[in-house]
Amino acid sequence: MLHRGLLIAGREVDAVNGETFPVFAPETGRTLATVARARAGDVNLAVNAAREGFVEWYRKSASEREAVFLKAAELVANEGEARFLDTLIDESGSAIRKARREIQYTVDLLRTAAGEVRRLYGETFPNDDPHKISLVIREPLGTVAVVSPYNAPLSLLTKMAAFPLAAGNAVVIKPSEETPLTALAFGQLLLDAGLPAGAVSVLPGFGSECGAELVNHPQVDSVALTGSTQTGVLVAQQALKGMRRVQLELGGKSALLVLEDADPQQAAAIAAQGIFTHAGQICMANSRIVVDRKVYPAFIEALKREAESITLGNLRDEETVYGPLINGRAVEKVLEQVRAAVQDGATLLTGGELSSAGPLVIKPTVILQPPKHSAVWREESFGPVTCVAQAENLGDAIALANDSEYGLSAAVLTNNLQWGLQAARKIRSGAVHIGMHSFQSNALAPIGGVGMSGFGRSGGRYSTEEFTEVKWISADTGGLPV
């Protein structure tokens, strides 16, 4: 049986108290490894290492720091499949196509982070007293706690860790307890690329034990959390007590609007991709679809066909769209939401049960007209389930899109650019995409939400701003400028 430790100061070590936990493959239920289980003592070691790692890293020149990210990108471009593919498939239940996209996106993210190293811009501004000059410089925060989820364990972690590092911070990573192996491989990648040993540590462990200790540690300067809203609220409260900066990318209930001029077949294909990729375990998945009544009958017929033609199961088959959910609790939650909605009067168009493709595989599920108080309409499902509501017109569609406490992403399918832009401006959301589904990524884009989807943005310069602080330096030059 494979055994893995914690990665602290460049060395793989067992937990201080010697505890471990098993990591399972969702597809087969097989135990993949036992992993060291970090708690307070281990958090201390990693945070202390980060203090030293930060100094060493921040003292390096921009070109030295840039070279680390370029090397890491090159390693992923050349060896990404060897380093990550099997682990992504086995540990997170990713279909091979999704795992490959994650690896490719990781290359983009690392190259973008390399560019950010040279963009720690400051500014100057005029002073009322002409003897004086003012400078605004941008400085890293110090140690950033990175607490990551299981659904895209490589690319999301890369986005969360690489940009704070590019700005000169050290990071201590607490990956999801479901996916520590991918995170350990990522930590090793950064070390192989030349990152100073203390600047990155990876602490496998549980949220309430290791995660809570880390985000509350007095020597942690900032927290980046991607996870559920429930966890985000807890972490934000704790961070505020210690006056620590926090950036939160949380849950979503993203709406896809299909307006009256959209082609129903094409819209259904886009909608299916936007919800069923990785079994809907995507924060920005379009788990609510709002369809203008003029195209509603044709759209739901086409969506049923799309859903029922999706290839499920074998994760190493190139045709497979998705396989299992991460664990049995996730399956139970999703099926319960569907049962409750149907009991409450919603119509089940298709799915709503386990597939024969594997023990944790749920069939693509579409629910029509769920009551607006139902969990399937209001709460995140994080499964292959979407619900369809009918709208009278554009205004009604926008109102339905806004009928959510979340606001992570949204999308509008129309050929009328004015309608698309009106919807984009009126929908309360961190992003709105026109002519596409709601699950879009770009290493330069400001990713993040409003409302219960969190606050702060990550990606490119937006991460640089999140994980740095500006400092005003003024000086009396002792004379006039001319």
Residues annotated as part of the active site: 249, 283
3-class DSSP assignment, residue 436: coil
Query: Could you say which of 50, 160, 185, 283 contacts ligand NAD (CB under 6 A)?
Result: 283
- Residue 148 touching ligand NAD (CB under 6 A): yes
**Six-digit token string for 254:** 């993203």
State which of residues 104, 228, 314, 369 lies at the interface with ligand NAD (CB under 6 A): 228
The stretch among 22-30, 86-94, 107-115, 227-235 that binds ligand NAD (CB under 6 A) is 227-235
Minimal distance, residue 480 CB to ligand NAD, in Å: 51
**Interface pick for ligand NAD out of 37, 380, 432, 433 (rule CB under 6 A):** 380
In the DSSP assignment, the letter for residue 361 is: P
Between CA 469 and CA 303 the distance in angstroms is 48
Stretch of 47-55, 144-152, 162-170, 302-310 lying at the interface with ligand NAD (CB under 6 A): 144-152
The DSSP call for residue 26 is T
Number of other CB atoms surrounding residue 78 within 10 Å: 11
User: By CB under 6 A, how many residues form the interface with ligand NAD?
Assistant: 32
SS3 assignment, position 367: strand
Instruction: Check binding of 324 to ligand NAD (CB under 6 A).
Output: no
CA–CA dist 451, 91 (Å, integer): 31
β-pairing, 132-140 with 143-147?
unpaired
Q: Which of 291, 273, 353, 264 is nearest to 98 (CA)?
A: 273
Distance, in Å, from the CA atom of 279 to the CA atom of 384, rounded to the nearest integer, reads: 5
Segment interacting with ligand NAD (CB under 6 A) among 5-13, 246-254, 334-342, 369-377 = 246-254
| Cβ nearer to ligand NAD, comparing 369 with 440 | 440
Q: Which of residues 422-481 bind ligand NAD (CB under 6 A)?
A: 447, 449
With both helix axes pointing from N to C terminus, report the angle between 296-308 and 264-276 in degrees, rounded to the nearest 10.
50
Residue 366: both structure tokens together: 């579409």
Give the nearer residue to ligand NAD in terms of CB position, either 144 or 291. Answer: 144
- DSSP class of residue 383 equals S
Smallest gap from Cβ 232 to ligand NAD, in A, equals 7
Confirm or reject binding of residue 350 to ligand NAD (CB under 6 A).
no
226 lines the binding site for ligand NAD (CB under 6 A): yes
Question: Could you tell me which stretch among 57-65, 72-80, 160-168, 230-238 binds ligand NAD (CB under 6 A)?
Answer: 230-238
What residues numbered 110-129 form the site for ligand NAD, per CB under 6 A?
none
What would the two tokens of residue 52 be?
């030293």
Question: Is 50 or 302 the residue whose CB approaches ligand NAD more closely?
Answer: 50
250 binds ligand NAD (CB under 6 A): yes
CA distances from 55 to 45, 65, 140, 205 (A): 16, 13, 11, 27
Residues between 14 and 43 that touch ligand NAD (CB under 6 A): none
Strand 245-249 and strand 454-455: the pairing is antiparallel
Told to check if 177 binds ligand NAD by CB under 6 A, we report yes
Is residue 322 classed as helix, strand or coil in its secondary structure?
Answer: strand
147 interacts with ligand NAD by CB under 6 A? yes
CA 185 to chain centre: 18
Near ligand NAD by CB under 6 A: residue from 211, 364, 384, 460: 211
- Interaction site with ligand NAD (CB under 6 A): 147-151, 156, 174-177, 206-208, 211-212, 215, 226-228, 231, 234-235, 249-252, 283, 380, 382, 408, 447, 449
